[in-house]
Chains A and B, each alone.
Chain A
Amino acid sequence: MRHFPMPTLKFLGTFVTCAAVALCNVYITKSLAQSARQGQPPADTAVDSSNASPIYGVTIPAGYRDWKLIAVNQLLLAGKGEQLRAQLGNDVAIKAFKEGTVPFPDGSIIAAIHWTRVSSEDNDKVLNGPFPGTQSFVIGSPVNVQFMVKDSKKYAATGGWGFADFKGGKPGDKALHETCFGCHQPAKGHDFVFARYAPAP
């Protein structure tokens, strides 16, 4: 009688362990899959080469608008109006930004969204009560979206970065993309990336 329960217990013990380990694996695999997906450069998932940037072959990464915020800024373009801008990063890029990792690791992607800036009279009416003299500017309409994709081997000739500029979902021409890397030279000390993580104490 005393000998019987032991194999049963052993079996149960093993079974529970296996089930628990299996469950764990599902969780771990799922979270790894999620982070791997975000880290993948879009060039590898290109479906339509006509939507890829010249020279670099970078396409618009799926889901980039859901990426986390790096920073916001404003550009006053002489004669061309004003822009409000935001930079978003995939998980690999955000981690590097937060930890101050330079150069950025392969798989990092930075998205820069540019919009026109317009005055908001409605906001001004409300704000001028508590904050006299405030002029509120909000986003008008999308101008373009740019991406920097880090792949130190594939893009070795351009500091490890592939560039892309899209307007209305269509990439700009070769001449435009030839200017990207040259323009990013002043940011060489920060791996050619202008954007800094906006403070979050």
Chain B
Amino acid sequence: MLHCRARIRRYCGALSSCVAVAICTLHIAKSAAQSNEEGRVQTAAIASSSDVSPLFGIGIPVGYREWGLVSVAREKGNLNDIRAVLGNDPAIKAYREGATSFPDGAIIARIAWTYVPSKDNDRVLGKPQSFVAGLAADLPDWYLEFMVKDSKRYAATGGWGYAQFDKNGATADMALMKTCAPCHQAGNKIANAHDFVFTRYTP
């Protein structure tokens, strides 16, 4: 009887330790995963549903929509979109410090939405003056683009790997991916002085 109770207690003690350790491990694993996510694009951090870009092997980084804002831009003409540029923590840090090159692990995301007038907003303004991001169904084919810095892996393209996806997570084809680096390295004075990145941080 005495032996039995002791054994049960021992079992209970061991069990609760295990549960507690398991919960802890979950927490630790979760936060470790979060900090790793941004630096590791080619492996675990890509969304399972997404393609991988030809030439560079880059998928859609997990959680990119929650990255910090770098800047906003509007492309008029054929593209006719409104866009935001976001950066993961290493990218935002480099931007803020005014670095002229980005560290390995930096990722820059460019999101493009269709450009549509806002009826709600214009009711305040009295005429069509306000333009916002369009609906999910109308997202352009060039919806998402990423630049991933890995100076060794992408040494041939200035240290950057590129990717473009449509709203379904489908990648752009090889022919298009071949145009990324030449355009960024075309001698544009802004990009050349800034590690082949066009967009600057706007406070």
Residue numbers of A with Cβ under 8 A of B are: 6, 9-10, 13-14, 16-17, 20-21, 23-24, 27-28, 65-66, 68-69, 71-78, 84-86, 88, 94, 115, 117, 120, 122-123, 125-127, 129-139, 142, 183, 186-187, 190, 194, 196, 198-201
- Distance A131 CA – B78 CA, assembled complex (angstroms): 7
Flag whether B9 is at the interface (Cβ < 8 A).
Answer: yes
Pick the contact of A139: B20, B24, B129, B202 (CB < 8 A): B202
Q: Could you show 8 A-B contacts with beta carbons less than 8 Å apart?
A: A14-B13, A73-B130, A73-B133, A78-B127, A86-B72, A122-B198, A131-B79, A199-B134
A27-B24, A198-B132, A199-B134 known; 4 new pairs, CB 8 Å cut-off, are A28-B27, A88-B69, A125-B188, A190-B120
- Distance A147 CA – B177 CA, assembled complex (angstroms): 40
Task: Render B166-203 as a binary contact track against A, CB cut-off 8 A, 1 for contact.
Answer: 01100000000001000100101111000000111011
Known: A73-B132, A125-B188. A133 touches B24 (CB 8 A): no
- Range of interface residues on chain B? 35 or more
Set of chain B residues within 8 Å of A14, measured between Cβ atoms: 13
Known: A10-B10, A20-B20, A78-B127. A138 touches B115 (CB 8 A): no
Contact between chains at B132 and A71 (CB < 8 Å):
yes
Pick the contact of A187: B13, B120, B167, B200 (CB < 8 A): B120
Set of chain B residues within 8 Å of A17, measured between Cβ atoms: 13, 16-17, 20
Set of chain A residues within 8 Å of B73, measured between Cβ atoms: 84, 120, 136-139
Contact between chains at B27 and A135 (CB < 8 Å):
no
- Distance A190 CA – B119 CA, assembled complex (angstroms): 14
Set of chain B residues within 8 Å of A190, measured between Cβ atoms: 120
Contact between chains at A72 and B82 (CB < 8 Å):
yes
Contact between chains at A74 and B82 (CB < 8 Å):
yes
- Distance A94 CA – B131 CA, assembled complex (angstroms): 21
Least Cβ distance of A200 to chain B in Å? 5
Contact between chains at B132 and A196 (CB < 8 Å):
yes
Contact between chains at A201 and B21 (CB < 8 Å):
no
Contact between chains at A137 and B183 (CB < 8 Å):
no
Contact between chains at A134 and B76 (CB < 8 Å):
yes
Set of chain B residues within 8 Å of A68, measured between Cβ atoms: 65-66
Least Cβ distance of A70 to chain B in Å? 10
Pick the contact of A134: B79, B135, B168 (CB < 8 A): B79
- Distance A88 CA – B65 CA, assembled complex (angstroms): 12
Closest B residue, CB atoms, query A123: B198
Pick the contact of A131: B68, B77, B131 (CB < 8 A): B77
Judged by DSSP, the binding face of A is: mixed
Known: A20-B24, A24-B20, A199-B113. A76 touches B129 (CB 8 A): yes
Set of chain A residues within 8 Å of B203, measured between Cβ atoms: 65, 142
Residue numbers of B with Cβ under 8 A of A are: 6, 9-10, 13-14, 16-17, 20-21, 23-24, 27-28, 31, 65-66, 68-69, 71-79, 82-84, 86, 92, 111, 113, 115, 118, 120-121, 123-125, 127, 129-136, 139, 167-168, 179, 183, 186, 188-191, 198-200, 202-203
Known: A117-B74, A139-B73, A186-B123. A72 touches B83 (CB 8 A): yes
Set of chain A residues within 8 Å of B129, measured between Cβ atoms: 75-78
Contact between chains at A127 and B75 (CB < 8 Å):
yes
Contact between chains at B118 and A133 (CB < 8 Å):
no
- Distance A117 CA – B129 CA, assembled complex (angstroms): 14
Contact between chains at B20 and A21 (CB < 8 Å):
yes
Contact between chains at B136 and A130 (CB < 8 Å):
no
- Distance A165 CA – B191 CA, assembled complex (angstroms): 34
Contact between chains at B10 and A69 (CB < 8 Å):
no
Closest A residue, CB atoms, query B176: A130
- Distance A71 CA – B135 CA, assembled complex (angstroms): 12
